[in-house]
Structure 1
Amino acid sequence: MGEEISNKQVILNNYVKTSVKESDMLLRTSKIQLKIPSGCDGAVLVKNLYLSCDPFILLRIKEEHYIPPYKLDCPLIVFGVSKVLDSSLPNFKTGDLVWGHTRSEEYSLIKDPDILFKIHDKDLPLSYYTGILGMPGMTAYVGLFELCSPKKGETVYVSAASGAIGQLVGQFAKSAGCYVVGSAGSKEKVDLLKNKFGFDEAFNYKEEQDYNAALKRYFPDGIDIYFESVGGKMLEAVLSNMRHHGRVAVCGMISQYNIEQLEGVHNLLYLLTKRIRMEGFATFEHYHLYPKFLEMVVPLIKEEKITYVEDITQGIESMPGAIVGLFSGRNVGKQVVVVARE
């Protein structure tokens, strides 16, 4: 038997129908053995260092949705960066640093480490593996390059552009020689897009009465590529402003996550008349491309050709507030919770 220590956890208290509140999650302290129990083959015991707050969490806090919900009274399954304390798998050793699926707690026994990657390059901040070097970075890469194949001189629009994924999509598109415009929900975020991330233009969608008119202002000749994270009225406006043979990569539809009845979308006729290709994707189906992604992005980071902004909170007790803040625009950049230092 290993040493038994306390383990702070954020557990799901209630399922929600619309918006999530901090009271829908509770902080609980349990006990955990710092050794894998006998007979628990194929498992990894980790100490969580950084936990990631991502919009998909809300979908799993809903009891009825298109992805399986979290279990009540249990920690949330999230992405994180962790240190291996014990392992019954040959490819993970004690002391290894890993990123991937873990749980919202200080220590986790991961019995299904299918999405768990060993961290080899330790020259970069470990927190980056919750973002630019982890799932958000892969999402930006797959949606833009694998689905949309940007060409030099094309026009790219990114909604939710200051978030963990959007900020990368815009910079990747710029590196491919595209004209890039992003939208965000505050002047601070718009300034960030233009002055830090190098977007050609950006606008505050909350100040626009007519999305269609706003897009015509920034894309007088139309949009070649749209990286979709919002849905609803924004998607309607984009479809009417797409160019022939345009491509839409559907990463998310955050405007639909907080409402009980999903909205319908008009303007779908343009998919036909403009021969637009619109495709949703799930990043976990593309993790075989992770080495290819690293070959592209690591040099960009080390040569300071790409910028990444994180919004970091301290302590696992800050996680419920950080998750709620995602849906009120409170965070600027990738929302990360520091649980412990290595």
Structure 2
Amino acid sequence: MSKPLSPLMNRQVLLVSRPQGAVAPDNFKQVETPLPPLGEGQFRVRNHFLSLDPYMRGRMNDGKSYAAPQPLNEVMIGGTVGEVVESRHPRFTPGTQVIGHFGWQEWGTSDGTGVQAVPNPQVPLSAWLGAAGMPGVTAWYGLNRIIAPQSGQTVVVSAASGAVGSVVGQLAKRAGCRAVGIAGGAEKCRYVVETLGFDACVDYKAGHLQQDLKAATPEGIDGHFENVGGEVLDAVLSQMNAFGRIALCGMIAGYDGQPVPLRQPALILTQRLKLEGFIVTEHLDLWPQAQTLLAELIVQKQLHYRESVVQGLENAPEALIGLLKGQNFGKQLVRLI
């Protein structure tokens, strides 16, 4: 067991008001609180990285959802990775790198509940919040358990340059599929094709999404991984083949309250499509299987990923706002040290 450290101040960001439409900086407040002494069976973690993710926008609302709303005047939720620096716990000794959910703060204190020691130290620590973490497992689950890709089929991925979409396309290619991405801007589309290895990428900002998607999927679409909704999902539905499968992961187009109606819902019936929404944290029994594969691919440099990193907890609100506007490139992180 390590000796207690001197009392430290913990910088935290709280959610103090619920957004009315788009998220604004004044929805948050930064505070400093003293770290209490550790109790028996507890340990202290210095968080190195904080994960910012689209799901946070939904949790900021006070409405019915798959999880309880983020409470006001409490530390904003979020995944973290860091290192144990002080411990009164037999398993989490100082120096242990851990994955947790300590939220928007520099330090975390835990008795071990919900905290995982890093499974593979060869993987860069930040990747446990991205390609080897929740986004990667989300990609693995939606692709394998809902889309169930078969060699030779066409799989389309929206938000293809993002933390989830980038993994979906690479795994689809490994399954022998034609992978087609949808992303915003020529730079992101080049990355999707040239670095991630997709067969094609459609720039939805170019102004002719429907025509470009049709040209990129001449044999139709067999599987689709949806992160956006709205216009993108409408365009995909018109290209879906009979008995196609759609994994519905996110609807970021409507996260600020905008309507995201489907213009052609009848296609779900006439094409006999399977459309299934899912929450990856409801399938924790499958995480070890997925993370083992993802970590191995990263170590072997067979799974590529990109990170957008801002420095300092004080910049987390603006980084989340940018993420929700599509300004990030790849996985959005906040470096806390």
Q: TM-score, normalised by structure 1?
A: 0.91
Q: Counterpart in 2 of 1:255?
A: 253
Alignment of structure 1 residues 1-342 onto 2, 5 Å: 3-36=6-39, 44-66=43-65, 67-86=67-86, 91-110=91-110, 113-114=113-114, 116-209=115-208, 211-259=209-257, 262-340=259-337
CA distance in 2, matches of 1:251, 1:120: 25
Structure 1: tracts of 5 or more residues without a match: none
CA distance in 2, matches of 1:204, 1:77: 32
Measure how far apart 1:287 and its partner are.
2.0
Structure 1 counterpart of 2:35, which letter?
I
Taking a change above 3 Å as real, the CA distance of residues 144 and 89 of structure 1, as seen in their structure-2 partners, is farther
Structure 2: tracts of 5 or more residues without a match: none
Which SS does the other structure have where 1:113 is aligned? coil
Taking a change above 3 Å as real, the CA distance of residues 91 and 250 of structure 1, as seen in their structure-2 partners, is farther
Measure how far apart 1:65 and its partner are.
4.6
Measure how far apart 1:44 and its partner are.
4.8
CA distance in 2, matches of 1:290, 1:78: 18
Q: Which sits farther off after the overlay, 98-107 or 26-35?
A: 26-35
Taking a change above 3 Å as real, the CA distance of residues 112 and 212 of structure 1, as seen in their structure-2 partners, is farther
Deviations 1:233-292 (A, max 9, x none): 2212212211111110011000010125x4322322222222211111111112211221
Measure how far apart 1:208 and its partner are.
2.3
Measure how far apart 1:34 and its partner are.
4.8
Structure 2 counterpart of 1:134, which letter?
G
Query: How many corresponding residue pairs?
Result: 333
CA distance in 2, matches of 1:143, 1:278: 11
CA distance in 2, matches of 1:139, 1:74: 27
CA distance in 2, matches of 1:44, 1:246: 48
Which SS does the other structure have where 2:105 is aligned? coil
Measure how far apart 1:120 and its partner are.
3.1
Q: Which sits farther off after the overlay, 138-147 or 79-88?
A: 79-88
Structure 1 counterpart of 2:100, which letter?
G
| Counterpart contact for 1:208–1:214, Cα < 8 Å | no
CA distance in 2, matches of 1:34, 1:138: 35
Structure 1 counterpart of 2:95, which letter?
G
Structure 2 counterpart of 1:155, which letter?
T
CA distance in 1, matches of 2:250, 2:37: 37
Taking a change above 3 Å as real, the CA distance of residues 141 and 320 of structure 1, as seen in their structure-2 partners, is same
CA distance in 2, matches of 1:91, 1:173: 38
Which SS does the other structure have where 1:331 is aligned? coil
Taking a change above 3 Å as real, the CA distance of residues 302 and 95 of structure 1, as seen in their structure-2 partners, is closer
| Counterpart contact for 1:82–1:99, Cα < 8 Å | yes
Measure how far apart 1:205 and its partner are.
0.3
Measure how far apart 1:206 and its partner are.
1.3
Structure 2 counterpart of 1:293, which letter?
A
Measure how far apart 1:95 and its partner are.
3.2
Taking a change above 3 Å as real, the CA distance of residues 225 and 90 of structure 1, as seen in their structure-2 partners, is farther
CA distance in 2, matches of 1:173, 1:288: 22
Measure how far apart 1:295 and its partner are.
3.1
Taking a change above 3 Å as real, the CA distance of residues 88 and 283 of structure 1, as seen in their structure-2 partners, is farther
| Counterpart contact for 1:248–1:276, Cα < 8 Å | yes
Measure how far apart 1:77 and its partner are.
1.2
Taking a change above 3 Å as real, the CA distance of residues 112 and 256 of structure 1, as seen in their structure-2 partners, is farther
Structure 2 counterpart of 1:236, which letter?
D
Which SS does the other structure have where 2:35 is aligned? strand
Q: Which sits farther off after the overlay, 157-166 or 44-53?
A: 44-53
CA distance in 2, matches of 1:110, 1:182: 40
CA distance in 1, matches of 2:187, 2:64: 33
CA distance in 1, matches of 2:111, 2:203: 44
| Counterpart contact for 2:247–2:275, Cα < 8 Å | yes
